[in-house]
Amino acid sequence: MPTALTTLHLVLCGPRARPTRAVLTFASVTLAFVLYGVLAALENGLLRRPEALSTPRLVTTEAASYLNMLPTRYRNRIVVVDGVAAVTYLSPFRGRHEDAAAPFAQYAVHGASFLDVYPELLLDSASRDRWLAIRTGAIVGRDLAERFGWAVGDRVPLMGTIYRNRDRGAWEFTIEGIYRSSDRSFDEDRMFFHHDYLEAAANWGRGLTRMVVTRLRPGADTGEVGLRIDGEFENAPAETRSSAERDYAAEFVNRFGNFGTLIRSFTAAIFFVVLVVIANAISLSVRERMSEYALMRCAAGMAAAPLLFPFLLGVGGGLTSLYLTGWDIARGCLWMAALVAVSALGPTLAVARSSMAGILGRLER
């Protein structure tokens, strides 16, 4: 019988002899890989995504708390600051759609200036003109439109949570355009509508906004321009705090806790569990199959062949997680599969280098 076939037969003897253990071990390793991949994707989305913001922009909020409001008239004073190219303001709406299981972000924005500050938002000229002309109009991202099956002309009702309609009914919006994004950092699953409509129909907040966003001129320094903007409103009733958009996004995530430390702690725990599971599988395999090692040492010097199963376990778990989670998430899982394979390398080499007398001595015990 060829050596390769003999090796494969010996590798498969382990899981065939203990099928329940093999299935449970494989399932636990695969689950650990998938959990690690999901945590890695979460960390990338929450903590590293702000680094992908490419357009130089500043976000200006109230100095004491980002929950406090700023007067919308601040835009007129910021637009003349040196280094500023365009200025807009926006407020998160946080309305509740009839499909409560699929929430999405909505923002009230200042029409034309919003499109100037966010040039990566691509909207055809007909949709742009139509949206700017209709106060109750809204634009939605391509992904959001596909999720709900929306098209231009559809009406979207939202129940206000922060801003209540004065007649206490639902807010009615008409989709006037579907935008695309030329920058992966700008999502296509948001909805934007006119701030004027919000101020006119809401029961509070007239002349107020949550934040002012500034697009800088090429070559302008974000720190210096931010200091100029904040100096413009020093000692005003509502003082400001300006920061780069990527810094604001990172700070916003950290307000809810240290996600980085939490995710890394979970990741370390998963690494530990995987290593314990694999070490247990290897130790049981070595103890139960010592007679096979002795036989293979006598026959062909292949004492390490039965220990190839942990290698297959690691590679199989990585490939399964690749199928379940996709390549972006599974890259980390494949690294873990390599770790599992390496963890089996020590016992494999130890058995391969052991002498015949040593193996027989362990059998006598």
DSSP secondary structure of 165-201 = BTTSS-EEEEEEEEEEESSTTS-SSEEEEEHHHHHHH
- pLDDT tens, 302-346? 545 555 555 565 555 556 555 555 544 455 555 555 555 555 555
- 42/201: higher pLDDT: 201
With 60 as the cut, is the pLDDT of residue 242 above it? yes
Domain limits, the chain = 3-47+259-364, 69-237
> Cα separation of 335 and 350, whole Å?
24
Q: Is 6 helix (H, G, I), strand (E, B) or coil?
A: helix
| Separation of CA 356 from chain center | 53
> Which residues, including other chains, have CB under 8 Å from residue 220's CB and lie 6 or more apart?
56, 83, 84, 85
Average pLDDT over residues 24-30: 73
CA distance 50 to 19: 47
Look at residue 88 and tell me whether its pLDDT is greater than 60. yes
Inter-helix orientation angle 3-17/19-43, to 10°: 90
Left, alpha or beta for 83 (phi > 0: left; psi -120 to 50: alpha)?
Answer: left
Q: In angstroms, rounded to a whole number, what is the distance separating the alpha carbons of residues 229 and 216?
A: 12
Instruction: Judge whether residue 50 has pLDDT over 90.
Output: no
Decide if pLDDT at 43 tops 70.
Answer: no
Average pLDDT over residues 103-129: 92
Tokens 């890695």 belong to which residue? 40
pLDDT of 8 above 70: no
Q: What is the pLDDT of residue 310?
A: 55
